Chain A
Amino acid sequence: MGSEFLSLVQDPAYWDSLAKIVPKALNETIYMVVVSTFLAYVLGIPMGVFLVITSANHVLPNPWVERTLGTIINIFRSIPFIILLVALIPFTTMVVGTRIGTTAAIVPLVISAAPFVARLIESSLKEVSHGVIEAALSMGASPWQIISKVLLPETKSPIILGIAITTINIIAYTAMAGAVGGGGLGDLAIQYGYNRFRTDIMIITVLILVVIVQGIQWVGTTLARKLSHR
């Protein structure tokens, strides 16, 4: 086994074969993760903000909106991703014009991550004390000013940490997105490593994923610490 491995890593043809598949998969993963995370926040931030401001004793209390939004979020969060992936195929086709491929995989990733993001944003924004909101109200702040000048800036750190968590979750989900031909590192690991017994490729992709996840967590933690003035 040892000598086999040695001869393998010394063979330039081996590296050529890796160079054909690994960077491509890495690119696909980065593309899916970055775009999905971004879109999940575009959808999730307003939902989270609405959940918070419409809650009792907040700036725009509205039990009806709070409950309806909360229920929708819970429903989407309780559907297993693999089922969502399949169930959303007609919708995906409508939105991006195709049901397979990397871009097609982004749709279910976003739909699945956005409600999660909404809950993360909600729990972050709830950390802002009632007193601080009241102080802003006493100065004549409008609901929009409270959102943009108090709630979001005061919770930069937990929001950044949340982005790290979401990104890492989405990376894990992209592996499943392989089921709709999304590609990416996770898919590579399954296709080669599991289906074709290429343990080496499995190990390489997992190592790359570990490095990416560690890196994202490190960046998130460091940024969050920098931005926190507590």
Chain B
Amino acid sequence: MIHITNLSKVFKSRQGTITALKDINLHVSKGAVYGIIGLSGAGKSTLIRCLNMLERPTEGEIILDGQNMTTLSGKDLRRARQNIGMIFQHFNLLESRTVSGNIAFPLEIAEWSKEEIDERVKELLPLVGLEDKASAYPAQLSGGQKQRVGIARALATKPAVLLCDEATSALDPQTTVSILGLLKEINEKLDLTIVIITHEMKVIKEICTDVAVIDQSQIIEQGSVESVFIHPQSSIAKEFISSVLPNDLPAQLLRELALHPHAEIVKIHFLGSTASEPVITDLIKQCGVTVNILYGSIDYLRSTMFGTLTLELQGSPDSLADAYEYLHKRNLKVEVIRNGI
């Protein structure tokens, strides 16, 4: 749906030149929820603003829904933008218009007829759960409700792509969850391609199918959310992941383990269906090892179960070898934290 090739953006000002994006290559397939995560100043906003030409790239090409955005201007660009919805951190609603008026706004711009607009607004209000707020003004709404208006407005012209620039950064954690839930629902219901930029790994974890990590103007890592969560390459990715999935064992547990230097300790990563399989039972029954569960966590990456289990294994060298072979066969990622000899 979106192909970004060799994209660069350099800002020239009197103070000097700033390279905000350097040789970016990305491919977003249809129906994906593509998350782009990075620290402040990494170039995230610049990247997403290049997608609808709010920012003109210095170099490179962007093909979006079959259209080469970089070559468009004037009327053609305006028409292409009607095919791309965008929501913002600070909502950017029109204060002089009601909720319905705000949702109607992009349709007026696209010159739909009055009847078509009324009908479309009536469809969108329930989609974002704002039927009872149709004639309220933005000033009378909470942050979460404002973002729902922003989402309805962005979807009004039935765009092929939805761009979200820090869409939940101004919201409290609970509201963030509900807005992310709405975006996920829309993605599934409408098969809408979504690009989300954020500095919160939580957002990636909740709804994204793919993720790219951007640091100092460059993409340093990209892939499916599962693969990046399980095999993060860069230290930044690892840090982002540990912010949502505490990777370290609790201090108390570490102190206790220090008293038993000969215990064999492994950490098993689960993903998807394997998480629900009776791994521990099998280890005990089939391999004849004794299993002591030290620590565990289970979470979801979008809808995929994802977890870790830290175990102490006791048994003869043979049965331990059997256990490792078993885990290997199940395609589980196993980290040996301590080799008890």
Residues of A participating in the B interface, judged by any CB pair closer than 8 Å:
129, 131-132, 134-142, 145, 149-150, 153-154, 156, 227, 229-230
- Mask, B74-96, CB within 8 Å of A = 1, is 00011111101010101011111
A138 touches B81 (CB 8 A): yes
Contact of B108 among A131, A149, A227 (CB under 8 A): A149
Can you give 8 contacting A-B residue pairs, CB < 8 Å?
Answer: A131-B90, A134-B54, A135-B92, A137-B54, A138-B86, A139-B110, A141-B109, A156-B96
A141 touches B92 (CB 8 A): no
Question: When A and B form their complex, which 8 residue pairs have the shortest distance between CB atoms, in order from nearest?
Answer: A140-B81, A140-B78, A135-B92, A229-B137, A139-B106, A131-B92, A138-B86, A140-B82
Bound form: Cα–Cα A227–B82 in Å: 30
B109 touches A136 (CB 8 A): yes
Bound form: Cα–Cα A156–B138 in Å: 16
A225 to nearest B CB, angstroms? 13
Residues of B participating in the A interface, judged by any CB pair closer than 8 Å:
52, 54, 77-82, 84, 86, 88, 90, 92-97, 105-106, 108-110, 137-139, 153, 157, 163
Bound form: Cα–Cα A145–B75 in Å: 13
Known: A140-B109, A229-B137. Contact between A132 and B92, CB under 8 A?
yes
A128 to nearest B CB, angstroms? 9
Contact of B94 among A137, A138, A145, A154 (CB under 8 A): A154
Considering the complex, give the chain A residue whose CB is closest to the CB of B101.
A153
Bound form: Cα–Cα A49–B139 in Å: 26
Residues on A with beta carbons closer than 8 Å to the beta carbon of B84: 138
B92 touches A139 (CB 8 A): no
B54, B82, B105, B157 pick with most chain A CB within 10 angstroms? B105
Bound form: Cα–Cα A129–B96 in Å: 13
Bound form: Cα–Cα A199–B110 in Å: 64
Bound form: Cα–Cα A118–B64 in Å: 41
Residues on A with beta carbons closer than 8 Å to the beta carbon of B110: 139-140
B145 to nearest A CB, angstroms? 15
Residues on B with beta carbons closer than 8 Å to the beta carbon of A156: 96
A154 touches B96 (CB 8 A): yes
Residues on B with beta carbons closer than 8 Å to the beta carbon of A153: 94, 96-97
B98 to nearest A CB, angstroms? 8
Contact of A139 among B82, B90, B138 (CB under 8 A): B82
Contact of B105 among A129, A149, A227, A229 (CB under 8 A): A149
Residues on A with beta carbons closer than 8 Å to the beta carbon of B54: 134, 137-138
B78 touches A135 (CB 8 A): no
Considering the complex, give the chain B residue whose CB is closest to the CB of A134.
B54
A135, A137, A142, A145 pick with most chain B CB within 10 angstroms? A135
B94 touches A150 (CB 8 A): yes
Residues on B with beta carbons closer than 8 Å to the beta carbon of A230: 95, 139
Considering the complex, give the chain A residue whose CB is closest to the CB of B156.
A139
A210 to nearest B CB, angstroms? 33
B139 touches A139 (CB 8 A): no
A110 to nearest B CB, angstroms? 29
Known: A134-B54, A138-B52, A140-B110. Contact between A229 and B95, CB under 8 A?
yes
Bound form: Cα–Cα A134–B150 in Å: 13
Residues on A with beta carbons closer than 8 Å to the beta carbon of B79: 140
A149 touches B52 (CB 8 A): no
Bound form: Cα–Cα A150–B93 in Å: 10
Residues on B with beta carbons closer than 8 Å to the beta carbon of A136: 105, 109
Contact of A229 among B78, B138, B157 (CB under 8 A): B138
A139 touches B88 (CB 8 A): no
B217 to nearest A CB, angstroms? 22
Bound form: Cα–Cα A132–B90 in Å: 9
Bound form: Cα–Cα A80–B76 in Å: 49
B80, B81, B92 pick with most chain A CB within 10 angstroms? B92
A129 touches B106 (CB 8 A): no
B309 to nearest A CB, angstroms? 45
Residues on B with beta carbons closer than 8 Å to the beta carbon of A229: 95-96, 137-139
Q: A136-B105, A139-B153, A229-B96 are in contact. List 4 more A-B contacts (CB 8 A).
A: A135-B92, A138-B84, A139-B110, A145-B109
